[in-house]
Amino acid sequence: MISTLAGAQTPATNLEQVAEFGKHQPIGVAVSGQGRIFVTFPKKKANYDYGLAEIVDGQRRPYPNAEWNQWDSTKAATRFVNVQSVFVDQTDALWVLDPANPDDEAPLVPGVKLLKINLASNKVERVYRFEDLPRERTGLNDVRVDPTRQVAYLTDPKLAA
């Protein structure tokens, strides 16, 4: 379930449900400056439809399109494998982190990526591949981007040891 706090500026705040997912497990959420809601879902053996969805009228819609969300381990470089984190920066760009580790297994190395999606055009603008990391043992977990400084901050608990 995804909820919003209505009237968060006032002492009497109300929680408003905007979507419910039933058997699907949401793990990341981001909201654009225009109020668009994006949710990530892990790749599991069961109950998987999309890695990234936009919530429209309470319903999940594959984002940026169905092709990016169509599971195919042989096309890991151009499809979502296991979307972990999503973030909207100050320029209203959507950043999508895919550590490419389906069902918490070892990463599919070509699928480890960070995407920048233009929310005005709904198109992938750039894909970062992290070829300088040991992608076969990475576990990228979260991302924040500062476009002013042109810096991305990523967490990776597997490389911390």
Instruction: Report whether 99 contacts 109 (CB < 8 A).
Output: no
pLDDT band at 140 (very low <50, low <70, confident <90, very high): confident
How far, in Å, CA of 131 to CA of 7, rounded? 45
What's the pTM?
Answer: 0.86
Q: What's the rounded mean pLDDT across residues 131-139?
A: 76
Count the alpha carbons within 13 Å of 78 in the hemisphere toward its beta carbon: 3
**At 66, which helix (H) or strand (E)?**
helix 66-69
Neighbours of 76 (CB within 10 A): 21
Contact between 56 and 113 (Cβ < 8 Å): no
**pLDDT on residue 38:** 97
- Give the model confidence (pLDDT) of 44-59 as tens digits: 887 788 999 999 999 9
Q: Which of helix, strand or coil describes residue 63?
A: coil
